[in-house]
Structure 1
Amino acid sequence: MTVPAELGFRMPAEWARHERTWMAWPTEGYTLGDEPDDAYRAWSQVANTIARHEPVTMVVDPAARASAELWLDAAVRQVERPLNDAWMRDIGPTFLVGDGGELAVADWVFNGWGAQEWAQWDKDSKIAEEVAGLAGARRFASRMVNEGGGIHVDGEGTVLITETVQLDPGRNKDWTKEQVERELRDFLGVRKVIWLPRGLTRDYGEFGTRGHVDIVAAFVQPGVVVVHTQPDPAHPDHEVGRENAALLRASTDAKGRHLEVVEIPAPTILAEADGEPVDYSYINHYLGNGFVLLCGFDDPRDQEAAAILGKLLPGRTVELVDARPVFERGGGIHCITQQQPA
């Protein structure tokens, strides 16, 4: 089987110029929850904000057409396809570009974040192929179970992943690290894989992903990584952040550079109303054409995080969107967006 890397395809960094952003509209199940308007408001605020900077295409289940029409700005293009859920980062394709600018996708196997009991994916498992067709991109089907939130690249040959996602028995039973790395090299065009041991504590709860990397660490420049840290020792993510930061500081990228690690403190909120620890994180931001879309939590550290990212990403407008309704449903802004590179 011919793989993308053999033909010169690779996954660009998120800060490379976009053709558009893809999203999926909340349709049913826990993503809608008991307060559907909260989900509609959150997803539409993200889409409508991005649409001021670059084109947005929203995949909408036919049954959800009325709510999408009500909440989305006219600038957001809508296409109808059957959906189970609304996490486009995970159900959608990973876009690749070729040496001559050709567009392709890596279509991972999607099985409901490791075949979790509550998940349904009969429709979502087909969305990557549908989006590839709508985008006019060549499709390469991987045999590995993976989601877009489980990878983060620098565009220069390095990818960040976590052991608890890629080696999850519900995803890739009996796979070795070597097999995972080979698949990522073949499909993303990377040369260096940096393994983090785990994700945030809440991400291992009922509706978690079991450790997606895009909530704990992300490249913002070649050689520069932002990492989630929890200053309060009372929070279970205090040690998680320390461990990840130390590992990243000891790492080099595909070009042999020692990584510069910038810590972004978690919001001051430690627990939700049910007493469970929150996984609120500023790492789960989204980079687009001339902007940074940052998760906001009505927290004193919102502006601190905005200032850090603004300094690291000069020339980009930092836009804050209340991400609490998204996190209550199991993810963040990065989780509901997927970039199509120009």
Structure 2
Amino acid sequence: MPETLTRHLGQDAPTPRSLGFAMPAEWAPHAATWTSWPFDDELWVGHLEGVRREFAELVRTIARFEPVHLLVRDQEAEQDARTRLQGVSGVTFHRVPLDDVWFRDNGPLFVVRGQDVSFVNWEFNSWGQKFEWLLDTQAPEAVARFLEVAHWDQSVVMEGGSLELNGQGVALTTRQCLKSEFRNPGLDESDLEGILRDYLGIEKLLWLDAGLEGDHTDGHIDTITRFVDERTIVTCVCEDASDANFATMNDNLARLRAFTDAQGRPFEIVTLPLPANRLELEGKRLPPTYANFYIGNGFVVVPMYGDPNDARALEVLRPLFPGREVIGLSSRELITGGGSFHCVTQQQPAGRIWKGEDL
């Protein structure tokens, strides 16, 4: 494909912010959802079959509301996905070599300017060099080739799950993640805030300290605290005082109640219980959470774990999304990999693919 159709804009080019681009909120209209099909039973510690059953139900559900672009690692993964998704319309398959399935983090982060849609291709290093990543960090270029989009290449390590945006210039993150020593050791908070301002249009970055115990992403914000609209934040609370998450979640709650938006107004804070039951895999704690929901066109999919708090979580979330169908789907197998529905999805905003014509 000619280079002009996938024009790369490096760090010396005008920034997205200088050209009027910014990352929209997740609830803004989507053109599609991008995700990756699970593979390798060893990677899933023997849970691949169950993970694929849950994943098929997730893709079927999303495809009821919007198109799905599905990355498949190889022939086996593609054949398995096609078999399980037989009869599901609106799914486009892309053969792309991958190390894993967490496309929220290794995928591109889309930015918009009016009707123009582009993205930023950040570096991905598997949450601080914990696992293999050399294939995953190349996946955004496959998206670029398919969309034929002019886009920015940024050398800073940044993961979609580490940022939660309200679409009005405010974002949430955690120090545990963005300041971990194996991501961007030469950058301080001010540096990171400047980069996120220039490349995603984030004018005000609000810092929590830490996330869930057992989260190998080092405290991704999308497992604990989410915007549900411009002024409303839902955040996890732990009801067991003996649990290591109890103090962390209480500290987050106190900080959130003191935060203000871009106009200096306090947010409305809604609390969301964590699952009551502790889940482990090979003696290590897993981070199940209802906050890892995914918002799409007319729907929200919420992870369920066969837990006593499943129904309570849906009761909390349903009133927060008027006009959207809030759907609970099983994630008991998927969580064995350390994440859930938000972690495996990436939204492509609605609009016209930008070719860089005005540069």
Cα RMSD after superposing both structures? 1.5
In the alignment, is the contact (CA less than 8 A) between 2:235 and 2:272 conserved in 1?
Answer: yes
The answer (yes or no) to whether the contact 2:170–2:206 under 8 Å persists in 1 is yes
1:252 paired with 2:263, answer: no
Deviation at 1:272, TM superposition (A): 3.1
Matched, 1:187 2:199: yes
**Aligned match for 1:238, one of 236, 239, 246:** 246
Whose Rg is larger? 2
Q: Give secondary structure in 2 for the equivalent of 1:33.
A: coil
Question: Secondary structure at the residue paired with 2:33?
Answer: strand
* Number of equivalenced pairs: 335
**Counterpart contact for 1:28–1:84, Cα < 8 Å:** no
Q: Which residue matches 2:186?
A: 174
The aligned runs of 1:264-275 (5 Å cut-off) are 264-272=272-280
Greater displacement, 24-33 / 14-23 = 24-33
Q: Does 1:220 align with 2:220?
A: no
Distance (whole Å) between structure 1 residues aligned to residue 298 and residue 211 of structure 2 = 29
Counterpart of 1:71 (choices 58, 75, 84) is 84
1:122 to 117, 134, 138: 134
What is the alpha-carbon distance in structure 2 between the residues aligned to residue 136 and residue 259 of structure 1?
A: 39
Contact 2:41 2:47 in 1 (8 A): no
Task: Find the aligned partners of 1:5 and 1:175 in 2 and give their Cα distance.
Answer: 20
* Structure 2 unaligned regions, length at least 5: 1-11, 351-359
1:276, distance to aligned residue in structure 2 (A): 4.4
Q: Counterpart in 1 of 2:347?
A: 339
2:97 is matched with 82
Choose the corresponding residue for 2:171, options 148, 151, 159.
159
Contact 2:292 2:342 in 1 (8 A): yes
Distance 1:175 1:190, change over 3 A: same
TM-score w.r.t. structure 1 length? Answer: 0.94
CA separation in 1, counterparts of 2:296 and 2:135? Answer: 28
In the alignment, what sits opposite 1:102?
116
Q: What's the offset of the Cα at 1:138?
A: 2.3
Give per-residue Cα distances to partners, 1:269-299, cap 9 Å, x unaligned.
Answer: 1243756444211110000011110011112
The residue identity in structure 2 corresponding to 1:250 is: A
> For residues 151-200 of structure 1, what are the alpha-carbon distances to aligned partners after superposition, in whole Å with 9 as ceiling and x for unaligned?
11000000111112111111001211000000110111111000111111
**1:27 and 2:48 are equivalent in the alignment:** no
Give me the identity figure in percent. 37
The amino acid that maps onto 2:128 is G
1:321 aligns with 2:329: yes
- Please say which of residues 71-80 and 208-217 is displaced more in the overlay: 71-80
**In the alignment, is residue 293 of structure 1 matched against residue 301 of structure 2?**
yes
SS of residue paired to 2:280? coil
TM-score normalized by structure 2?
0.90
Greater mean deviation of Cα atoms: 14-23 or 255-264: 255-264
Q: Is the 8 A contact 1:129 1:139 kept in 2?
A: no
Deviation of 1:133 (Å): 2.7
Could you tell me which runs of 5 or more consecutive residues in structure 1 were left unpaired when the two chains were aligned: none
The DSSP-based 3-state class of the residue aligned with 1:303 is helix
